Copies of this chain bind each other. A is one copy, B any other.
């Protein structure tokens, strides 16, 4: 496990621009350390970027991703806060289950569409 990654290493690995990573830093999603002014990304920053992009692919906004990231962090001291986090996690789960249903339905409609195409192709193959 490397200790630090440069910004361009991560842009290459994840296929995003430096502007994007700096934007995520401005938004408080990641906090790479600095050597002088240069950003140094630790493995934990790299993992955060991975989580951010995963969230993006699932259609979450930056604000939502910020909230989700908060939940991953080490639990704080107070019992009320812990319960609040657990409740928030449950909300996300509901949302993600909805997305899963959406996903399965979309896949199944694509299956149907493909089948229709295949059938149509078969007809053409038979007729000509």
Chain B positions within 8 Å of A75 at CB level: 116-117, 120
A117 touches B85 (CB 8 A): yes
Residues from chain B with a CB closer than 8 A to the CB of A1 are: none
Stretch at the interface among A5-13, A15-23, A33-41, A88-96: A88-96
Decide if A2 is an interface residue (CB 8 Å cutoff): no
Q: Mark A63-93, 1 if CB is under 8 A from B, else 0.
A: 0000010011011000100110110010011
Residues of chain B lying within 8 A (CB to CB) of residue A117: 75, 82, 85-86, 89
Q: A102 and B54 in contact (CB under 8 A), knowing A82-B117, A86-B117, A121-B83?
A: yes
Residue of B at shortest CB range from A95? Answer: B57
Contact in complex: B71, A89 (CB < 8 Å):
no
A124 interface residue (CB < 8 Å to B)? yes
How many residues of chain A get a CB closer than 8 Å to chain B's CBs? 40
Q: Is B71 within 8 A of A121, CB to CB?
A: no
Closest 7 CB pairs of A and B: A59-B59, A75-B120, A54-B102, A75-B117, A89-B114, A82-B117, A71-B113
